[in-house]
Structure 1
Amino acid sequence: MKYPMFKVHMPVDDALNKIESVLRSGFVNEGIEVTQFQDALKDYLHVDNLVLMNSCTSALTVAYKIAGVGPGTEVISTAMTCIATNTPIENLGAKIVWADVLPESGSIDPKDIEKKITNKTKAIVFVNWAGTPCDLEVIAKLGQKYGIPVIQDAAHAFGATWDAKPISDYADFTCYSFQAIKHLSSGDGGALVCKKADDFQLAKKLKWFGYDRDAAKDEKGEWKGQRWSADICAGEVGFKFNMNNISAAIGLAQMPYIQGLLDAHRHNADVYTKAFAKSSLIMPIQIPQKAKSSYWVYTCLTSSSVDRDLLLEKLNAAGVGAGLVHLSNDMYSAFKPYESSLPGTRLFGDRQISLPCGWWLTKENCFEIAQLVEDLAAESLSA
């Protein structure tokens, strides 16, 4: 593929040096490198209550658990997301209640969220599609109004802001991904940011069986005092979700580059937005005025006159890694029990395409791709 959708940024020499240090130390589990990576992320994201984990899915699972999600409860969620947003809800035994999305953006519709709230609702979860924040203020106010925790799946949205503030300011829990193809990759990994100090303390326990590892072990990961002095409290039995030093070493090697990577994604996205500004066939998704997107990918919408699937076939044949990124989750058989009328989701799902806009592309590449999209869209008109 001439212009791939994804490409893993990896400062190989820096990463290998840090990994070698870990391997020679003889301690590869959670220790000094995890602490250093955690502190670097706190500084970059301007947050305090951050817990590193082995994936964003794990971070979401812990957030749901703290929110009280379990059998007999409901979670209001979006179907237009990665299945990782919703599989933990199923695994915890709760019911998924779909809220529709706004067809012009793919963002969850706050008005539909409010319609779906019941006395069984334990959490509201949403994804910032392609790195673009939803209307965070409105969703946060809904959570406050009804006393329901708000969980933000920010897997696409590392470095995104709302009203020039960290997006984690507007949710009880914010979950980041450091999986292979994200802006910042540690090979695999994730982080959970908690607004409340009590939730943060519990999250630290739940990611490591139920022990507060920070209290039980020193910075190197060695036990402080006797092993049997650490306790797991009733109701706090946790998971094996901690990050290890090898993954953290890779993440640390990435940190000096992350701002440049985000800047490149945004500059390339700007090329597309300007190129499609007057198009009648391709429309950029709507970005809220207060949102600053991280543009993991560049999503746009085809007009109703364009055969979207044919356009994607033509783009792929021409060497452009265009695609859908995620399918609406309600289309999977596993989620059939939660079937609901979602007209906005259907409309967005039928018209969306995502284009590569990453650091590996130049502005000239994006101009070429935009022109190709426009030309091939004109050749892909529905009969």
Structure 2
Amino acid sequence: MYRIKVNQPFIEDDEIRAVIEVLKSGYLTSGKYTEEFEREFARYLNVRHVVTVSNGTIALYLAYKVLGIGPGDEVLVPDFTFIATASMAVVNGAKPVFVDIDPETYTMDPHDLERKITERSKVIVPVHLFGHPAPMDEIIKIARERGIYVIEDCAQAHGAEYRGIRVGSIGDLGVFSFYATKNLTMGEGGAIATSSDEIAEQVRLLRNHGQSRKYHHIMIGWNFRITELQAALGLQQLRKLDRMNKRRREIAKLYLEELSNVEGIRLPVERPWAKHVYHQFTIWVKKEVLRDKLREYLARNGVQTSIHYPEPLHIQPAFKGLVSNHNCCPNAVRASRHVLSLPMHPGLKDEEVMYVAKLIKEYFKSNQ
């Protein structure tokens, strides 16, 4: 059993009381809490609409669908991220094109992006990985010059900022996940953020059986709604999101101070134009052979870690037949062999962070 977990939800009495209130009300499906969460999150992001859906994967699926993405289209995604960014393009009939990353921020490399655009490119999906924003000015410029949509994948970046603007409000759409360990959790859940009235209305119809009014269906849709239990939990989380992110940044600062002189690792960066919200605190272990050994050493001493991600997308069996160049993304391949995510969540205590840092320093002192 790990004494210090790599991540966990940050739940206080506010969330528990809110969920109990919903249970006592007897009204459990989407209703006033869902509407209130959508309004408050839209205000927080400074967009006209937030539409909640059942999870982040479905948010990606619907984002592609409402933009008309389908067979013959190409969707440009970073090679180093969770599979859903690419797999939901495939579910819509499109082909994912894998773009290499900046090895310091782990976000999409605009230079490689530009090389991989073709006449079939329809959407670019920068992922604000680990809580650090992608370089949006360069990506938006490339997209606008070619008439390509931009969907921001903000699943790990609730509250992160690019040049003072919250992510999710910069592209044509922003997609969010509210999975259990995200910076803002509903247990499960997702959302699409947009300032387009038309897109928001399409998503609302598709998530609720295509109903424009009760039992009147103007298109084929699904049940992708969230429950009032999720919304009540999410609403309380939203109201303390900035406080939780502040704590994440304090923890990151402590790690950075304590580990700055460790020769065997490279620490996360924060670009001058970025506000990092540290969904993960991911280090780069310089010697590939030591990454897993360090992980084992930490585990023996009660510290859980994780590898985000052990395989880049272009080598995943699920995409067999969709990748023509298996040398497409060397930085992503290297990252998969070197990265290690340390414990990071708002409930971490300073002494726990210091303990993790002490173990890492001891390990590299013995393994120069």
TM bucket by the smaller chain? over 0.9
Tell me if structure 2 keeps the 8 A contact 1:168–1:195. Answer: no
Provide the residue aligned with 1:202 in structure 2. 202
Alignment of 1:137-286 (within 5 A): 137-212=137-212, 216=213, 223=214, 227=215, 230-233=216-219, 237-286=220-269
Give structure 1 regions of 4+ aligned residues with deviation exceeding 4 angstroms.
Answer: none
Provide the residue aligned with 1:332 in structure 2. 316
Q: Which range is displaced more, 158-167 or 367-376?
A: 367-376
Calculate the TM-score normalised by the size of structure 2: 0.92
Tell me which amino acid in the other structure corresponds to 1:123.
Answer: V
Provide the residue aligned with 2:10 in structure 1. 9
Provide the residue aligned with 2:106 in structure 1. 106
Cα shift at 1:152: 1.2
Cα shift at 1:378: 4.0
Calculate the TM-score normalised by the size of structure 1: 0.89
- Mapped partners of 1:305, 1:78: distance in 2: 22
- Mapped partners of 2:322, 2:362: distance in 1: 40
Cα deviation 1:118-164 (Å, max 9, x = unaligned): 12112111211111111111111111111111111111101100111
Tell me if structure 2 keeps the 8 A contact 1:4–1:320. Answer: yes
Tell me if structure 2 keeps the 8 A contact 1:114–1:142. Answer: yes
- Mapped partners of 2:57, 2:288: distance in 1: 38
Cα shift at 1:16: 4.1
Provide the residue aligned with 1:219 in structure 2. none
Q: Which range is displaced more, 187-196 or 271-280?
A: 271-280
Provide the residue aligned with 1:220 in structure 2. none
Tell me which amino acid in the other structure corresponds to 2:344.
Answer: C
Tell me if structure 1 keeps the 8 A contact 2:162–2:273. Answer: yes
Cα shift at 1:60: 0.8
Cα shift at 1:51: 0.8
- Mapped partners of 1:295, 1:310: distance in 2: 24
Tell me if structure 2 keeps the 8 A contact 1:105–1:348. Answer: no
Matched position secondary structure for 2:271: coil
1:364 aligns with 2:338: no
Tell me if structure 2 keeps the 8 A contact 1:68–1:122. Answer: no
Structure 1 stretches lacking a partner, 5+ long = 217-222
- Mapped partners of 2:144, 2:195: distance in 1: 13
Structure 2 stretches lacking a partner, 5+ long = none
Cα shift at 1:47: 2.5
Question: Identity of paired residues, percent?
Answer: 29
Tell me if structure 2 keeps the 8 A contact 1:281–1:305. Answer: no
Q: Which range is displaced more, 371-380 or 159-168?
A: 371-380
